[in-house]
Amino acid sequence: MRVVVAVALDDEWAPWRRRHRFTWITDAIAETTVGTTVVRVCAVGVGAVQLAGLSDLLTERDVVLACGLSGSLRSDCARGTIVVSRQVRSPGIPSAIASDPRLVAAALDCGARAVDTLLSVPGIIRTAADKRARAADADVVDMESFAVLRDATERGLRVVAIRAIGDAVDDDVPIDFSRALRRNGSIDYLALAGHVATRPVAWPAILRFTRRQRSAIRSLTTFLDRFVATLDESF
C-alpha cells in the first residue's frame, strides 16, 4: 500500500515536509517513508487545476487522501479542528463521492471529527454571510476534494477527505486570494503582498487570519503522522 496525499498548495504541507526527509520526484510531487508506509504528496493547485499531475502517479495499490485547509460552515466546527468527511459534493453535480468507511473510522480513531458533507466550490467563500448561506448544503467547504476523490474513485481506489479548519463560519477572509492566483493554481506571493500593502486598515485581521491558518496546518501535520501510522499497522 502507498498513501497519496493531495493538497492545494505547498504551504499546506510545509511543516510535514520539514518533519520528514522527502525526495522531490517532480516540481509538484515528493515522496518519503513514514514508518514502513511510502507516502507521496502532490500539490494540485487551488481548485485542483493541476489534477493531471496526481492522476499520472496513481496506481492500483494507492490510498488517496484529499487534505489541506477548509472553511467551516457550522458553528460547532471550530478553527483548528481536524475533520473527516463521509462524503464530498460539488454544486450542480447530483452524485456525491463517498469516503472509504475504513479510512473514516481510522481518522476518527486518530482524533478527527466526523462531518457528513464537504462541499467543493469553484471560488473562495470570503464572508461569514456567504458561509452561513451554504450551511444547508454542507458542513465544511474547500475547492479541491471533490475533483481529487472523483478522479481516484474512478480508478477504483480507496479515498478519504481530511481537512483542517482554518477559518470558522463567522470569520471573514480578509485577503482576496483570487487577485494573486496563477493559472497553475499556485499563489503569486509578490502580487499578494502588493494587494495587502494597499489595505493597511486590514493588516491586523490579515495577521490574525495568517496565524490561524498556520496553526491549523500544524495541527494537520501532527494528525497526518498519527493517521499514516495507523494505516501502517492495520491496512
pLDDT at 104 over 90: yes
Domain made up of 2-234: CATH architecture: 3-Layer(aba) Sandwich (3.40)
Provide the b/e sequence for 162-196 (b: ≥16 CB within 10 Å).
bbbbbbbbebbbbbeeeebbeeebbbeeeebeebb
CA distances from 189 to 46, 122, 184, 217 (A): 14, 21, 14, 18
Confidence category of residue 233, pLDDT binned at 50, 70, 90? low
- Residue range 177-201: mean pLDDT, rounded: 89
CA angle 60–65–67, rounded 5-degree value: 155
CA 179 to chain centre: 21
The model's pLDDT over 14-69, given as tens digits with 9 standing for 90+, comes to 999 999 999 999 888 999 999 889 999 999 999 999 998 888 889 988 999 999 99
Query: d(Cα 162, Cα 164) in Å, to the nearest integer?
Result: 7
The model's pLDDT over 146-181, given as tens digits with 9 standing for 90+, comes to 999 999 999 999 999 999 999 999 999 988 888 889
Across the chain, what does the average pLDDT equal?
93
